[in-house]
Structures are given as C-alpha cells and as structure tokens.
C-alpha cells in the first residue's frame, strides 16, 4: 500500500502528462499500483481487519449488562461476566462500548426573548482576597447576566448564605434598573434544594413580582450564558491582577465589566450594552417598596453585651442589657436597635471569628459596673414608713372607723 504522499505525487505527475510507465519507473513502484492510484476515488487508507481478541467472547454479556445499567463500573462488570484477565484491557474495551448504550439526552437551541430571563450564578475567582484580620480566603462573586442582551453585573459577597445571596441579588438588580421576568438559578443551597426554596426567597421574589426558576440537575445548557461568562472572567479579567480587599476587587471588576459589556459577543454578534435598552424595556420595574433582605434577628441582650452576625460578635450599648434588641445587617453595615433607637452601629467584617468592639460601649459598661458594685446605704429605721396594723382591721371590717387617710363621709 502506497503512502498518502506517493498517492498525491502519482496523480499530479499523471495529470501533468507524464506516462504511467515512466511514473512507475521513476518512483520505483509497479505499473498496476500507478493505475490503481489514478483510478481511485479517494486517498488510500489503512483498514485493519477485525480480529478476535480475548474480550470477544465476553462482549455479548457485557453489552447485555450495559443495556440495563450503562454506568455500571467496569470492575463490577468484570466480576459479573467472569473476566480473569487484565482489568486495564477489560476497562478499555468497556469504555468503547458505553456510548452505544447510554440514553440520549439532546439539548435544544434556546432563544432568549427580551426581558424574559436573567441567569444567576456564583463565580469563585482563583485568587485569595485579603480580609480585615490579615488572612486571605477565596470569596464568591455573585454574577447576573441578562440572557437576551448578555449584559453582565457582579458583586463579591462574604458568604453563600441566603441572606447574603438575596442582598447581592437586590444590589445587582438595582444596577440593572429593572427585574427580569425569570431569575434562573441552579441548585445552590442558599437558594433552595429539592422542591422548596430557602426561607426568605419566596418573599423576595413575591415583592419583585418575578419568578425564581431552579434548574434540575444535569441541565447546564439552560444556564449556559452565565456559565460561559465565568470562564471568560478567569481568562480575561483575572490574569495579572492583585487585590487589597473585597472593595478593591469590586472596584476593579466593575471597571472591567464596563469595558466587557461594550465588546462584541460572538454568539449574539452584538455588544451587550447596545441590546440592554431593549432587554430592560421588556423587564419588570423595580418594586416601589424594597424587599426585606439581609440579616435580621431579635434577641435579648445578655450581660456580655455582644450580638452575633454570621460568625462575628459586635458590641452593643450595655444600657439595654436584659432587653430585646433588633439586629440587622447588610453587606457593609451592622445595626442594633432597641424600640427603634440605634444602640450600636458597626462596619460589617468579612473575616471570621472576630470580636468588634466600640470603645464607647466598654466605657459605658465600666460605669454601670461601678454603679452596681457600689455599696448601697442601709435604710434608716426612723424614716422608714410603717403603717398602723389597725388600718388593715378597719379595711376588712373587723373594727369600726375610717382607714387612716380616708375622708369621713
């Protein structure tokens, strides 16, 4: 069998008018080989005839098992069919048979109408971010991409809890200025699992008058727009960048998103910023009353005048020890109120296991402690008011006469 190069050379020489006899003589090959090369419809290819192997007798039994259980491990199949040879050789043969028995799962081409959907996801940048206590950690970035226009907004958040996810979503929707009719999520635990949304998600979407759609497992195509953007961030935004804090990350990411949203996207053949107006026009308006989002708790303040948000403790005015206080927090601030009065305000700390103390609260606690520990004066027996016991007898009608202090009719 001649090589691809010889086949091409023979056909070129014959096409140039060189006799086949001379071509055979010059190349040192037979005239019949030259004739077959000229008469062939396509380039030569080597086809190895099928031969029987040690796996061949077991193939029917393996296929029968794969029909009912396509994902059965090769080691289990080998045990079932009685294979005693090389497991690596057996595994290679099973791997070649699996595609013939896997169920078909076609994916449709999705068309995203203006205003219909916004895809939400968490992206974890592969670089640790410095926090307040000097540690570095990987933090999630909440990203929302309008499905029709491809317009992207994103914000780093401290945790994957429901409170922080809803805070981030509300902040990003305000950046968009409108609300898509569907917010598409995968099975993020902070959003919901199984048939039920996480606590607070229903009230959030109800206030926005939108629908939150959680995708079933193994359905990446339905959220492919935002998933592809995550890879784009890592290859186009992240290289060569350093970050001093989450706020620094958000500042750099926001500037880059302005540039990225003005670039032509190959799949839609347009710039997201150019399609955004049409997308927003079909979306829902922001609600007149903001949704209730963030960390909310009501506790009775203990002697250790601190309240906990996430994993951090924040000091409170000790003057309300023993009373109920309302604790609220967003991504940047923690506030504590008693009957509407602000009794503590702190910047929210994203590091974990920290204690945040206001010096004024420590000073107030010192004063209250000194007052509590100060000896109390003993009551003066001469000035102590003592009531005449006869007044009780008169009150119960045991004796006649008015009770002391009552007027006689």
Q: Which of 126, 132, 188 is nearest to 162 (CA)?
A: 188
With 0-12 / 13-18 / 19 or more C-beta atoms within 10 angstroms meaning exposed / middle / buried, residue 30 is exposed
**Looking at residue 288, what is its pLDDT?**
92
- Six-digit token string for 87: 């497991």
**Looking at residue 407, what is its pLDDT?**
52
- Six-digit token string for 164: 């922080």
| CA pair distance 62, 64, nearest whole angstrom | 5
| CA pair distance 331, 150, nearest whole angstrom | 26
| CA pair distance 299, 309, nearest whole angstrom | 12
| CA pair distance 261, 154, nearest whole angstrom | 12
| CA pair distance 122, 136, nearest whole angstrom | 19
Which pLDDT band, with edges at 50, 70 and 90, does 109 fall under? low
Which pLDDT band, with edges at 50, 70 and 90, does 409 fall under? very low
The tens digit of pLDDT for each residue in 292-315 reads 999 999 999 999 999 999 999 999
Which pLDDT band, with edges at 50, 70 and 90, does 203 fall under? very high
The fold for domain 117-285 equals Nucleotidyltransferase; domain 5 (3.30.420)
Contact 102, 68 (CB under 8 A): no
Residue 14: strand, helix, or coil: helix
Paired residues of 336 in beta bridges: 327, 344
Q: Which of 247, 225, 220, 221 is nearest to 152 (CA)?
A: 225
**Looking at residue 322, what is its pLDDT?**
94
Instruction: State mean pLDDT over 191-212.
Output: 92
Predicted TM-score (pTM) above 0.85: no
**Looking at residue 23, what is its pLDDT?**
87
Share of the chain above pLDDT 70, in %: 89
Q: Which of 36-50, 188-202, 238-252 has the lowest mean pLDDT?
A: 36-50
Share of the chain above pLDDT 90, in %: 64
Give, for 171, the enclosing helix (H) or strand (E). Answer: helix 162-176
**Looking at residue 386, what is its pLDDT?**
61
**Looking at residue 44, what is its pLDDT?**
78
Residue predicted with more confidence, 169 or 390: 169
Mean pLDDT of all residues in the chain? Answer: 88
Q: Which of 177, 211, 176, 171 is nearest to 191 (CA)?
A: 211
The tens digit of pLDDT for each residue in 174-183 reads 999 999 999 9
**Looking at residue 87, what is its pLDDT?**
93
Q: Which of 200, 246, 250 is nearest to 347 (CA)?
A: 246
Query: What is the number of other CB atoms lying within 10 angstroms of the CB of residue 33?
Result: 18
């Amino acid at each position: 069998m001649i090589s691809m190069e010889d086949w091409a050379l023979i056909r070129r020489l014959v096409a140039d008018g060189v006799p086949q006899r001379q071509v055979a003589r010059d190349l040192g090959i037979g005239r019949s080989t030259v004739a077959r090369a000229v008469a062939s419809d396509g380039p030569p290819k080597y086809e190895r005839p099928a031969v029987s192997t040690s796996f061949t007798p077991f193939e029917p039994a393996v296929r029968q098992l794969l029909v009912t259980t396509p994902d059965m491990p090769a080691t289990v199949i080998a045990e079932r069919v009685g294979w005693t040879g090389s497991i690596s050789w057996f595994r290679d043969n099973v791997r070649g048979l699996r595609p013939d028995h896997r169920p078909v799962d076609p994916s449709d081409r999705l068309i995203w109408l203006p205003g219909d959907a916004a895809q939400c996801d968490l992206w974890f940048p592969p670089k640790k971010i410095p926090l307040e206590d000097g540690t570095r950690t990987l933090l999630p970035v909440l990203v929302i991409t309008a499905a029709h226009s491809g317009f992207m907004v994103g914000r780093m958040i401290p945790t994957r809890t429901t409170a922080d996810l809803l805070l981030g979503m509300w902040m990003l929707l305000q950046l968009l200025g409108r609300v898509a009719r569907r917010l598409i999520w995968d099975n993020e635990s902070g959003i919901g699992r199984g048939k039920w949304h996480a606590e607070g998600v229903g009230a959030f979407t109800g206030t926005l008058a939108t629908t939150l759609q959680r995708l079933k497992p193994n359905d990446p195509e339905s959220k492919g727009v935002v998933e592809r953007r995550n890879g784009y961030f890592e290859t186009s935004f992240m290289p060569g960048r350093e970050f001093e804090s989450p706020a620094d990350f958000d500042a750099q990411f926001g500037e880059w998103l302005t540039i990225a949203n003005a670039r032509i996207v190959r799949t839609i053949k347009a710039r997201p910023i150019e399609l955004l107006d049409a997308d927003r026009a079909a979306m829902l308006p922001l609600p007149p009353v903001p949704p209730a989002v963030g960390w909310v708790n009501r506790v009775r303040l203990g002697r250790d005048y601190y309240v906990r948000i996430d994993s951090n403790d924040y000091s409170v005015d000790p003057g309300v020890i023993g009373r109920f206080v309302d604790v609220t927090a967003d991504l940047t601030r923690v506030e504590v109120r008693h009957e509407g009065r602000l009794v503590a305000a702190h910047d929210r700390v994203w590091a974990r296991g920290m204690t945040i103390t206001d010096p004024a609260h420590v000073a107030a606690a010192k004063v209250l402690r000194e007052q509590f520990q100060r000896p109390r004066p003993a009551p003066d027996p001469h000035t102590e008011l003592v009531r005449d016991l006869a007044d009780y007898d008169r009150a119960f009608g045991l004796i006649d006469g008015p009770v002391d202090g009552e007027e006689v009719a």
